[in-house]
Structure 1
Amino acid sequence: MMEKRFSDQELERIIDEATFYMCACPAQVVVQIRGLRELFQYQLSCEIDPGNDPAVHQAIADVTAKAHAMMEDCLDQILTMEGWDRTTLKMPEGLRRKMSEAVERGF
């Protein structure tokens, strides 16, 4: 079983917020988390197929779950370091201004 610290809806909010303010790094981590969730589910479906060696797919699922936990830890650290509101998952005002100013300057 893969434990999830962030729900799919929370991940979507982070991507929306990061995309709106052109802060790609948190969104890139979220993309990787989503991919690992998909890979994990895929391995579970392969594992039950009678033509497949379940040990192979269990090994992939186990490592995927570990990588997922590490990426969620990373996302948690990023949100803390950048000062995101953990209830609403909004980017902090100071970072928003920084991104807006960069857009105005044309990067």
Structure 2
Amino acid sequence: ALLALGARALRYELRQKGISESIIREALADVNAEEDALRAAQGQARKLRGLSRREFRQKLSAFLQRRGFAYDDAARAVRQLQAEIEADDPSFWRPEQEDEL
């Protein structure tokens, strides 16, 4: 399976393979970081079922940042995915204590 990587990780991988900076810039110009982050988040979210909302946000955001996504792109993807899950599958979350919300 292909790993979804953010621009930072893609740039690093391409440099490691000896690709010139001009080609890297051209290749990354077509990258849609928000869509890619959301797609990566959707794939990882299945593994996070049963966590609290807070744990879900923390783990998913950390996962995306390790994959080379910028903090802002990761945060937007996590918020969007959390809203989708809230609407579609409220039983996804572990029941929380009042102070965890």
* TM-score where L is the length of structure 1: 0.29
Larger relative contact order (Cα-Cα within 8 Å, sequence gap ≥ 6) = 2
Q: Which has the larger radius of gyration?
A: 1
